[in-house]
């Protein structure tokens, strides 16, 4: 009997988490991702550019000893590019099994959007955009929040490119300094005097 009550509490807790979304903005529009998928939110960090990557892949950052690939949400979805400002944030999520940072204009809040408040995109719009990464639209009192599936925002090819860039950087070894010309003195060896 007690086990059944515990199972019900766990199911209820999971449902609450699934209903909670981190709302962020990009191009003055609100988007949401499941809050339970977010590991961290930070100000933009020093991003190291990686050559020959798609334009929306900004590069990588060192987050407490772990390399994180970073994408620009505006560039990914072909929005007008905007310079980073004091509101710009990087949302760290696990995407395809790897940590990924998503640069957004601002992070607004965590809100609960019950399933009954979520609707699918209208047919005309749905045909024009990829429904793969849009799970629906949260219809709140005075606002619409486009809900995204973090795992599908990046294609498999893009995830592969991010992982390749991350691995390439991890495998870079610092260059060894060349030995100075001439013979090194070895311990115990006498130097010749004048």
Q: What is the pLDDT of residues 37-55, one digit of tens each?
A: 999 999 987 898 888 888 8
Q: Where are the domains of the chain?
A: 2-170
Tell me which of 3.40.50.720, 3.30.750.24, 2.40.50.180, 3.40.50.2000 is the CATH number of domain 2-170.
2.40.50.180
**Higher-confidence residue: 190 or 155?**
155
The stretch 94-106 carries a mean pLDDT of 88
Residues ≥6 apart with Cβ < 8 Å to 170: 67
Between residues 122 and 6, which one has the greater pLDDT?
Answer: 122
Task: State how far the Cα of 62 lies from the Cα of 130, in Å rounded to an integer.
Answer: 32
Residue 181 is predicted with a pLDDT of 52
pLDDT, mean of residues 100-117:
94
Question: What whole-number distance in Å separates Cα of residue 182 and Cα of residue 194?
Answer: 19
Burial class (CB in 10 A: 0-12, 13-18, 19+), 30: buried
- Percent of the residues in the chain that have a pLDDT greater than 70, as a whole number: 67
Helix or strand or coil: residue 169?
Answer: helix
The per-residue pLDDT of the chain, averaged, comes to 77
Query: Comparing C-alpha atoms, which of 41, 71, 42, 67 is closest to residue 56?
Result: 71
pLDDT for the residue numbered 56 = 87
Residue 7 pLDDT? 38
In angstroms, what CA-CA distances link 11 with 8, 15, 112?
5, 6, 16
190 pLDDT exceeds 60? Answer: no
pLDDT at 25: 96
Share of the chain above pLDDT 90, in %: 35
User: In this model, does residue 158 exceed pLDDT 70?
Assistant: no
């Amino acid at each position: 009997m007690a086990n059944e009550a515990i199972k019900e509490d766990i199911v209820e807790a999971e449902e609450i988490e699934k209903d909670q979304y981190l709302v962020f903005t990009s191009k003055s529009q609100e988007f949401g991702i499941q809050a339970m998928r977010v590991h961290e939110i930070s100000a933009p960090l020093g991003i190291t550019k990686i050559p020959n990557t798609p334009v929306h892949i900004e590069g990588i950052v060192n987050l407490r000893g772990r390399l994180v690939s970073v994408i620009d949400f505006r560039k990914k979805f072909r929005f007008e590019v905007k310079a980073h400002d004091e509101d710009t944030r990087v949302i760290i999520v696990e995407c395809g099994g790897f940590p990924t940072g998503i640069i957004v204009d601002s992070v607004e809040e965590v809100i609960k959007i019950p399933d009954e408040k979520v609707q699918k995109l209208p047919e005309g719009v749905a045909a024009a955009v990829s429904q793969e990464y849009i799970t629906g639209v949260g219809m709140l009192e005075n606002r619409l929040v486009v809900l995204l599936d973090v795992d599908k925002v990046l294609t498999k090819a893009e995830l592969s490119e991010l992982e390749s860039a991350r691995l390439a950087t991890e495998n870079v070894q610092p260059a060894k300094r060349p030995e100075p010309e001439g013979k090194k003195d070895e311990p115990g060896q006498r130097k010749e005097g004048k």
